[in-house]
């Protein structure tokens, strides 16, 4: 009969620890495995494709169980965390052989999506940000940290929209919240599918005090305390690499909301979600992982300060003008490892011998980099050169201590150089002499016994032994040899002399391994004292890496240095979309001018689909971004003002996460611009109004243009298929028409991709459909219908089609409706026609309410007559 399960001391320990981490998978160390039990085992076995077994198989209440080898655990942890789970790692805190009773176990770390620090090569240029939010009314204290680098930023955000944009921009996977967060806010961010982690308590520590010392606002202090308390609770180790929290204002940078970044494909391809085909993809010629991360940060937050932008431009120009020195700098940077994350591993205690060799090699490049930069510097690199500290003390420490080819593990020995520690050298000498003694013993025993294949071996279970084949057993002296193990074809023996030497050798080896580990830990702690200098150096190397990347791409793509102006004007000569040209090839791309004087604020762009209107608009936005991150730009000549914000509505896309249609997304993105744009903003609207009925769409498009023209005066590119809107040029002085040229010849359409003055003469919709490969019979039918509509429509002159600015009649709608008048119209009754005629001639606005009511009653009575 199965026995009822008893709560063993081990399971009691497991359940107590698990109760402290109910929201995490508990990896419970048992010997060489991490085990999972109960629901963790059932779910973990399914996710990780492990064999699910049972503990207490003969009991009535079996305990589900599965496990992973401790040496391969990281891959399994990564899989769980990548899928949005937490993993609590519970280790044995004492040697089971020495434990009195139950082995002591503790959770040494909780790995979460926001605290992952072990990144692969593919993610080396990505930050992994853990964010935190604290709410007070409509304001949010906001903070984020990259645990692997120590970067820590904080802000006060006014409104949920700005909060949402920051979360999306940072691509955070986990948000630390507290009781201040309202249900409304939770519901607002719920569609993002980001893990919410609760942190109710705050704590004090040296790391918290250091991080908070430059933060003054209560909101930021509150959110930082919760963020850092969560880090200390989950990491359970020193966080000495955390930098002082740096306050930032989103308004200090060029504001581009998440949707506009997506539309402009700055960091992520809108079709594939990948890096390829983006501005980041084009610009990334960085040689270091930390340079790659900084490039992303610069793209996320372009500058508003002319002084800072011009300094970067000067630095890029110097590097551009010195090809050979720049090439040597790039070569030296290639040998620099990720200093930011190496410093983080030192602080977190996860660094190994090979990491320290990478740190040493990286620091050895710094004097060469400094020298090369000093040769070309005109003063523009003065501040950056101060950051390039070679930290020679760390190089010396590692050089003296670590062997040239250390093992991956820091607990197996063979880490520390000969001569670094006298005691260790003594143990190693004993081990070395012991091996010589063993070799001599083996030779002596062979000679004494006459057994040529006698050998001395070692294993972890039996220690040292003398192995003799069974055919030679008769030759052994019986007085000295004691049998230790029997094999199929041989016997293993021990002698008093070998036993004595075994104790000496193994004692030295155990002590040597333990001492090497302790020496390594001491070395790591000494290097911790230099973390702040290493982080400052990393910041300088990162910036230099991005600047050389700008110089390389500017040279390769023939970019020019843009001139910044305080005037409200744009003057781009022969500009192009840098990514499209790279994909198409230089010979295939047609450059275009974009010229907008101080008095010209709106370009109304017409032309057929596929002709390049959207590309023309995107190229301006990407040129602005390139300018304000300090890079050169794709044009023959460029004069640009500093823009404070970029708003876009380009491309048709449903927001499935929020359950919104294309038209709703279109209206929301347009509204963002109308509500928040200033005179110094850039607005790009591509075919606004196309997502609804023709007349609604046209009315909205015209109203939006008029609002921008009369109220915002922002530089705006507005493309449309409503050709009637081109008449607005007659009434809006800040607007002019341009079109993308196309030539129709012998029924075939050729796009010129050249932007020319004036409106397009037709839309060429059927020609575009033909290019798309639609059936010819369908296209012929469309031609017949088009000619019929054009023939029957009472089409007014283009200049009379759009309403005059401020006009309130329904004239446009009446004229447009004539396109759909049936071929035969039933006769109208005499009374009805007379009422209609009288209504059309009556000036209703001049009537009193009572007179209008009497007139309405009269008409109603006439219409009711039979």
Q: Domain holding 491: CATH number? A: 1.10.1420.10
Please give the residue range of the domain that contains residue 42.
Answer: 9-111
132 and 58 within one domain:
no
545 and 473 within one domain:
no
Can you give the pLDDT at residue 790?
64
Output the CA–CA distances (angstroms, integers) from residue 544 to 318, 547, 553, 557, 789, in the order listed.
12, 5, 14, 20, 63
Can you give the pLDDT at residue 774?
73
Can you give the pLDDT at residue 827?
43
Task: Identify whether 44 is part of a domain.
Answer: yes
3-state class (DSSP) for residue 827: coil
334 and 193 within one domain:
no
Task: Identify whether 285 is part of a domain.
Answer: no
336 and 365 Cβ atoms separated by less than 8 Å: yes
- 496 is an annotated ligand-binding site residue: no
- 613 is an annotated ligand-binding site residue: yes
3-state class (DSSP) for residue 755: strand
Task: Identify whether 207 is part of a domain.
Answer: yes
Measured CA to CA, the distance from residue 709 to residue 600 in angstroms comes to 10
Q: Are strands 463-469 and 482-486 parallel, antiparallel or unpaired?
A: unpaired
765 and 622 within one domain:
yes
Task: Identify whether 690 is part of a domain.
Answer: yes
Measured CA to CA, the distance from residue 18 to residue 768 in angstroms comes to 64
138 and 45 within one domain:
no
> What tokens appear for 358 in the block?
């990478």
231 and 245 Cβ atoms separated by less than 8 Å: no
Contacts 24+ apart (CB under 8 A), 394-401: 394/359, 394/360, 394/363, 394/527, 394/530, 394/534, 395/360, 395/363, 395/364, 397/523, 397/526, 397/527, 398/356, 398/357, 398/359, 398/360, 398/523, 398/527, 399/360, 401/519, 401/520, 401/523
541 and 290 Cβ atoms separated by less than 8 Å: yes
Task: Identify whether 491 is part of a domain.
Answer: yes
589 and 658 within one domain:
yes
- 608 is an annotated ligand-binding site residue: yes
Q: Is the sign of the CA dihedral 207, 209, 213, 216 positive or negative?
A: positive
Task: Identify whether 401 is part of a domain.
Answer: no
Measured CA to CA, the distance from residue 339 to residue 362 in angstroms comes to 8
Output the CA–CA distances (angstroms, integers) from residue 349 to 40, 128, 243, 368, 410, in the order listed.
28, 19, 17, 30, 11
Number of structural domains (the chain) is 6
Task: Identify whether 373 is part of a domain.
Answer: yes
Measured CA to CA, the distance from residue 242 to residue 224 in angstroms comes to 12
626 and 761 within one domain:
yes
Measured CA to CA, the distance from residue 172 to residue 645 in angstroms comes to 23
Can you give the pLDDT at residue 850?
57
127 and 101 within one domain:
no
- 610 is an annotated ligand-binding site residue: yes
Can you give the pLDDT at residue 814?
37
- 609 is an annotated ligand-binding site residue: yes
| Entry pTM | 0.84
Can you give the pLDDT at residue 815?
37
Can you give the pLDDT at residue 502?
82
List, for residues 86-135, the tens digit of each pLDDT value: 999 999 998 877 777 889 999 999 999 999 987 777 778 999 999 999 99
Can you give the pLDDT at residue 451?
92
3-state class (DSSP) for residue 828: coil
Task: Identify whether 330 is part of a domain.
Answer: yes
Output the CA–CA distances (angstroms, integers) from residue 791 to 723, 785, 795, 818, in the order listed.
18, 10, 9, 11
- 612 is an annotated ligand-binding site residue: yes
Phi, psi of 649 (to 5 degrees): -140, 90
3-state class (DSSP) for residue 49: coil
231 and 93 within one domain:
no
**Which residues 6+ apart lie within 8 Å of 115 measured at CB?**
130, 147, 174, 231, 234, 235
If phi over 0 gives left and psi between -120 and 50 gives alpha, with beta otherwise, what is residue 753? left
739 and 606 within one domain:
yes
233 and 131 within one domain:
yes
**Which parts of the chain sit beneath pLDDT 50?**
1-4, 652-659, 794-801, 809-828, 866
Give the end-to-end CA distance of the chain in Å, rounded to a whole number: 99
657 and 762 within one domain:
yes
């Amino acid at each position: 009969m199965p026995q009822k399960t008893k709560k063993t001391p081990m399971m009691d320990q497991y359940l107590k620890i698990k109760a402290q981490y109910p929201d995490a998978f508990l990896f419970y160390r048992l010997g060489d495995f991490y085990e999972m039990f109960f629901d963790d085992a059932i779910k973990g076995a399914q996710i990780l494709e492990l064999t699910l077994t049972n503990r207490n198989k003969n009991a009535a209440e079996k305990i589900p169980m599965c496990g992973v080898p401790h040496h391969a655990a990281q891959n399994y942890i990564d899989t769980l965390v990548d899928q949005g789970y937490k993993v609590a790692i519970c280790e044995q805190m004492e040697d089971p052989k020495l434990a009195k009773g139950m082995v002591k176990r503790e959770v040494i770390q909780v790995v979460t999506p926001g605290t992952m620090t072990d990144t692969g090569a593919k993610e080396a240029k990505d930050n992994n940000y853990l964010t935190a939010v604290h709410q007070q009314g409509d304001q949010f204290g906001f903070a984020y940290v990259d645990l692997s680098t120590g970067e820590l930023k904080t802000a006060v955000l006014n409104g949920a929209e700005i909060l949402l944009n920051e979360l999306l921009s940072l691509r955070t996977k986990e948000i630390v919240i507290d009781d201040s967060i309202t249900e409304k806010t939770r519901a607002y961010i719920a569609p993002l599918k980001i893990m919410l982690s609760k942190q109710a308590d705050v704590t004090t520590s040296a790391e918290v005090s250091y991080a908070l010392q430059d933060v003054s606002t209560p909101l930021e202090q509150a959110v930082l305390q919760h963020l850092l308390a969560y880090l200390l609770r989950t990491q359970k180790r020193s966080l000495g690499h955390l930098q002082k929290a740096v306050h930032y204002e989103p308004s200090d940078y060029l504001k581009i909301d998440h949707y506009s970044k997506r539309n402009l494909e700055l960091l992520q391809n809108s079709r594939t979600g990948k890096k390829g085909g983006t501005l980041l993809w084009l610009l990334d010629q960085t040689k270091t992982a930390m340079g790659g991360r900084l490039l992303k940060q610069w793209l996320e937050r372009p500058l508003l300060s002319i002084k800072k932008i011009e300094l970067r431009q000067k630095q890029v120009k110097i590097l551009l003008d010195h090809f050979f020195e720049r090439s040597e700098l790039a070569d030296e940077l290639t040998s620099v490892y990720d200093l930011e994350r190496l410093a983080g591993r030192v602080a977190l205690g996860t660094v190994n011998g090979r990491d320290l060799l990478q740190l040493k090699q990286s620091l050895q490049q710094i004097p060469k980099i400094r020298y090369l930069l000093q040769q070309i510097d005109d003063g523009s690199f003065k501040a950056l050169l101060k950051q390039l500290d070679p930290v020679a003390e760390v190089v010396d420490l590692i050089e003296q201590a670590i062997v040239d080819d250390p093992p991956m593990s820091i607990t197996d020995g063979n880490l520390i150089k000969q001569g670094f520690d006298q005691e260790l050298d003594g143990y190693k000498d004993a081990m070395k002499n012991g091996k010589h003694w063993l070799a001599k013993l083996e030779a002596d025993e062979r000679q004494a016994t006459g057994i040529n294949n006698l050998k001395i071996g070692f294993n972890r279970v039996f220690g040292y032994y003398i192995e003799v084949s069974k055919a030679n057993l008769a030759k052994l002296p019986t007085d000295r040899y004691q049998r230790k193990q029997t094999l199929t074809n041989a016997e293993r023996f021990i002698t008093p002399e070998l036993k004595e030497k075994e104790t000496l050798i193994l004692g030295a080896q155990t002590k040597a391994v333990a001492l090497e580990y302790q020496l390594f830990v001491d070395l790591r702690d000494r290097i911790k004292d230099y973390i702040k200098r290493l982080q400052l150096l990393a910041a300088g190397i990162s910036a230099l890496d991005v600047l050389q990347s700008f110089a390389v791409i500017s040279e390769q793509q023939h970019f020019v240095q843009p001139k910044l102006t305080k005037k409200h004007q744009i003057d781009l000569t022969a500009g192009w979309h840098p990514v499209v040209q790279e994909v198409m090839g230089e010979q295939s791309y047609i450059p275009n001018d974009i010229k907008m004087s101080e008095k010209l604020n709106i370009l109304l762009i017409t032309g057929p689909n596929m002709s390049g209107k959207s590309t023309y608009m995107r190229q301006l936005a990407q040129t602005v971004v390139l300018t304000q991150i300090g890079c050169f730009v794709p044009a023959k000549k460029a004069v640009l003002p500093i823009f404070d914000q970029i708003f876009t509505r380009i491309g048709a896309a449903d927001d499935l996460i929020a359950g919104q249609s294309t038209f709703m997304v279109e209206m929301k993105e347009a509204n963002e611009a109308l509500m928040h744009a200033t005179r110094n903003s850039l607005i790009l609207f591509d075919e606004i109004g196309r997502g609804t009925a023709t007349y609604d769409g046209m009315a909205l498009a015209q109203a939006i243009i008029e609002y921008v023209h009369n109220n915002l005066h922002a530089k705006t590119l507005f493309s449309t298929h409503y050709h009637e809107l081109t008449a607005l040029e007659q009434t809006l002085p800040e607007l002019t028409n341009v079109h993308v040229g196309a030539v129709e010849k012998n029924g075939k359409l050729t796009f010129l991709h050249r932007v020319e003055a004036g409106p397009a003469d037709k839309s060429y919709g059927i020609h575009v459909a033909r290019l798309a490969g639609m059936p010819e019979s369908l296209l012929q039918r469309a031609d017949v219908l088009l000619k019929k509509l054009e023939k029957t429509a009472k089409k007014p002159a283009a200049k009379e089609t759009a309403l005059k600015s401020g006009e309130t009649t329904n004239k446009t709608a009446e004229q447009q409706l004539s396109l759909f008048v049936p071929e035969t119209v039933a006769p109208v009754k005499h009374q009805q026609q007379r009422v209609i005629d009288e209504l059309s001639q009556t000036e209703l606005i001049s009537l009193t309410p009572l007179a209008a009511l009497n007139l309405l009653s009269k008409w109603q009575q006439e219409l009711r007559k039979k």
